[in-house]
């Protein structure tokens, strides 16, 4: 996987303050790859 981006945001709900950081990656998969629920 190759890192491509970082997203950060804050959310305020009443007295609750939350910070989130999402790390985004590009996954190189074969063309015939089919995701399966396990």
pLDDT digits (tens, 9 = 90+) for 7-36: 999 999 999 999 999 999 999 999 999 999
The Cα 36–Cα 10 span in angstroms is: 33
Enter the DSSP assignment of 14: T
The H helix count followed by the E strand count for the chain is 0, 2
Given this model, what pLDDT does residue 36 score?
95
CA angle centred on 14, ends 9 and 20, rounded to 5°: 20
């Amino acid at each position: 996987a190759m890192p491509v981006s970082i997203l950060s945001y804050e959310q305020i709900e009443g007295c609750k303050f939350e910070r989130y950081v999402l790390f985004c990656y590009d996954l190189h998969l074969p063309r015939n790859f089919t995701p399966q629920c396990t």
